[in-house]
Amino acid sequence: MDGEQPSTAQPQPQSRLVQTFACPNCGAPVTIRASGHTVVVTCRGCQSLIDVATPNHQIVSRYVSRRKFEPLIPLGSRGELFGNPYEVIGFMVRSDTESEFRWQEYLLFNPYHGFRWLAVANGHWNFLTMIKEQPSGASDGDVRYDGKNFALYFRGRAQVDYVFGEFYWRVRANDVVKVADHIAPPQILSVELDQGERVWSLGQYVEPDVVRGAFKVETPFPVKVGVAPNQPSPYPRIGGPFFFFVALLLAIQVLTDAFAGKEPVYQSGFEYARTAPDKVKVTPPFELKGRASDVEVVSVAPVNNHWLELRMSLIETNTGKTVSFEQGVEFYSGSDSDGAWSEGKHRHRILLSSVPAGTYYLTITPQGSTDTSYSVAVRRDVPAWSNFWIALTLLTLPAMLVGLLRYNFETRRWADSEFSPYQSSSEEEE
Amino acid sequence: MATRTNVQRAMSSKQFDCPSCGASVAFQCAMSVFAVCPYCRSMLVRHDLDVEVIGKMAVLAEDTSPFQLGTQGRYDGRMFQLIGRLKQQWSDGGWNEWCALFNDARHGWLAEAQGFYLVCFETEPAVALPARDTLRVEQGIQIGGESYRVDDIKEVTCAGSEGELPFPAPHGRKSTSVDLSADGGKFACIEYAEDGTRLSVGRYVDFAELKLSFLRKLDGW
């Protein structure tokens, strides 16, 4: 709906929209703001409920409520909500017959756009519009409307405790109707079953400050308590994006790995003898080309029940820039009462990250518990998976945090509902 | 109601002098047989060549309707103009039925009740409509191959009318109005009156959807 002010025909004599008459009970002036629609109206003076559907204005009830309720928004206030101005013309206090939980409802009127409702419970507000189209699956449980699934949240009986102002149906205190609420946050679908007729309303969660600002209410509104049935979660549903980014990350890593050069630049075998005088080996120079990237060094030694340690330095011939590292292999095997066993590895792999291009050689200083042969292989441009695991962790931790907060919010939302999908079996037994 | 005479009339629009006050009264829709003189509120019934005064219309009670005679709008791509109004009353309130003349010379109804709007058109029922006394709330009936459900049955009195209408609608005219609904916002109404039974079929519409102009100016809104 747009809030466009419709064009009008030639100027008409100003019609008296607000009608006033004297209360048949106490004589105080009673005003009607939605004449033509209003069926009953209360007198501000004596609280009598007056029938105005017929011209003779009969008293329906001289009901004196045990308790008088003050509306948070004064009747007659005008404010703009969802693009259209509305005037507050009616106020109702209702309660659940079983729990005696109490809430307030305000009837809003715009002569062009019709009636709306504002309902406030536990400090949470909803803006409601009656709908003529019946949601499907309406008899029981969840319902579908406007392509969305609305989960059953509440079923009970609502009683009218107090009425004030004017209404377009014959409301009266102590009226009881069956009600049910279905939620698809931030929306709510409420249904009232009154004498065989199902009346559905679609509600939208509204922040209290929006309502207060719209109707320029000076006094503060009640503080929000708990989580409202259809309060939008501040924690987004992130499963989809999370798995999308994990898949993206994995794809990037797999592709990087697949397209990486992994170019062998040097490989050679050596002999280690504990008694030999020239145990230190110096390799011939080899070229590392291209942009700075990872270098993989793999040492293999066929030791058994022995160990071999290799201290190595990768040295650039021109600059003398040195990267030192150690590699060790050890392997033990045997058999005991449980059978054959083995531990350790014949192979040690190390990744040196971001090695710039240049001419390099390796110095190898071996030390071992036995004489053995060994081999050293150098490969250029071997991508590291460590970055992938770090990125995955950085992605997963906040996602889990948001997921937990969202779960917590949802359990609080459903805490008061007997239809909660989060309720544990022990709670159900209570 | 679409008798042969009415269909023949549908080709012309006529002016008559009000026999009571002499003012010129137009029948814009050839289907119209009844009009209220805007000057002296005489109720005029049109015959083939002249008009007959059948009484004086009461002053219509004030309401907050956003419409007036001359209000224009669109529905399903067709332009319409409001040419008459029937103000209906029942024990728990009232509503307005505005007669709309469309630019293809058809007429339809724009009804407003409890802040809701609906547009419907009179149709000839394919099968005989159920008798008034057999209908019950929540009963299902078939109309045009569609399953409708009876929402309510109201005993209605006309609280007055203005403009021109396809049947005589003096204040006090009695009828039984049966509202029915089907999936998708579809709406039907059966009116049982002394002058016949009328079936109308249509749907609920949004105020903005009608793209209305020449609306009634409502003080303060």
pLDDT at A1 over 60: no
Residues of B in contact with A200 (CB under 8 A): none
Q: State how far the alpha carbon of B218 is from the alpha carbons of A76, A259, B64, B68, B163, in Å.
A: 16, 74, 8, 11, 20
**Cβ pair A36:B208 closer than 8 A:** no
Query: Is B68 inside any structural domain?
Result: no
**Cβ pair B151:A197 closer than 8 A:** yes
Among residues A78, A16, A90, the alpha carbon closest in space to that of A49 is found at: A90
Residues of A in contact with B204 (CB under 8 A): 132-133
Residue B188 pLDDT: 95
> CA neighbours within 13 Å on the CB side: how many for B165?
23
- Rounded to a whole number of angstroms, the distance from the CA of B189 to the nearest CA of chain A is 15
- Per-residue pLDDT, averaged over B126-149, amounts to 90
Q: Which of A234-238, A246-250, B182-186 has the highest mean pLDDT?
A: A246-250
What is the distance between the alpha carbons of residues A29 and A21, in angstroms, rounded to a whole number? Answer: 6
- Per-residue pLDDT, averaged over A261-267, amounts to 90
Phi and psi torsions of A270, nearest 5°: -135, 165
Closest B-chain CA to A84: B221
- Per-residue pLDDT, averaged over B119-143, amounts to 91
Per the structure, how many domains does chain B have?
1
Q: What ipTM was assigned to the predicted interfaces of this complex?
A: 0.88
**Cβ pair B212:A6 closer than 8 A:** yes
Percentage of chain A surpassing pLDDT 90?
A: 68
**Cβ pair A17:B138 closer than 8 A:** no
Q: State how far the alpha carbon of A274 is from the alpha carbons of A143, A279, A313, A367, B166, in Å.
A: 82, 8, 21, 8, 120
Query: Is B109 inside any structural domain?
Result: no
Query: Is B40 inside any structural domain?
Result: yes
Percentage of chain A surpassing pLDDT 70?
A: 93
Query: Is B140 inside any structural domain?
Result: no
**Cβ pair A9:B185 closer than 8 A:** no
Among A51, A130, A133, A200, most B C-beta atoms within 10 A, so best to mutate, is A133
Task: For residue A136, give the DSSP letter.
Answer: B
Query: Is B205 inside any structural domain?
Result: no
Note if the bond before A186 is cis, omega within 30 degrees. yes
Residue A11 pLDDT: 42
Burial A292-331 (b: 16+ CB within 10 A, else e): ebbbbbbbbbebeebbbbbebebbbeeeeeebeeebbbbb
Query: Is B199 inside any structural domain?
Result: no
**Per-state percent for chain A, helix, strand, coil, to nearest 5:** 15, 45, 40
Residues of A in contact with B183 (CB under 8 A): 133-134, 136
Q: Which of A255-259, A374-378, B181-185, B216-220 has the highest mean pLDDT?
A: A374-378
Q: What tokens were used for B201?
A: 């079929």
A13 touches chain B (CB under 8 A): no
Query: Is B39 inside any structural domain?
Result: yes
| Dihedral angle of Cα A29, A30, A35, A38, to the nearest 10 degrees | -160
Among residues A168, A133, A160, the alpha carbon closest in space to that of A35 is found at: A168
The structural domains of chain A, ordered by start, are 19-214 (no CATH), 261-382 (2.60.120.380)
Closest A-chain CA to B205: A132
- Rounded to a whole number of angstroms, the distance from the CA of B139 to the nearest CA of chain A is 11
Amino acid identity for residue B22 in this structure: G
Q: Which of B62, B66, B96 shows the shortest C-beta gap to A19? A: B62
Burial class (CB in 10 A: 0-12, 13-18, 19+), A399: middle
What is the distance between the alpha carbons of residues B11 and A27, in angstroms, rounded to a whole number? Answer: 57
pLDDT at B9 over 80: no
Quick: pLDDT tens for A141-168: 889 999 999 999 999 999 999 999 999 9
Q: Which of A7, A111, A132 shows the shortest C-beta gap to B66? A: A111
Among A2, A10, A21, A37, most B C-beta atoms within 10 A, so best to mutate, is A37
Quick: pLDDT tens for A306-364: 999 999 999 999 999 999 999 999 999 998 888 899 999 999 999 998 899 999 999 99
pLDDT at A425 over 50: no
Owning domain of residue B19:
4-56
Quick: pLDDT tens for B68-93: 999 999 999 999 999 999 999 998 88
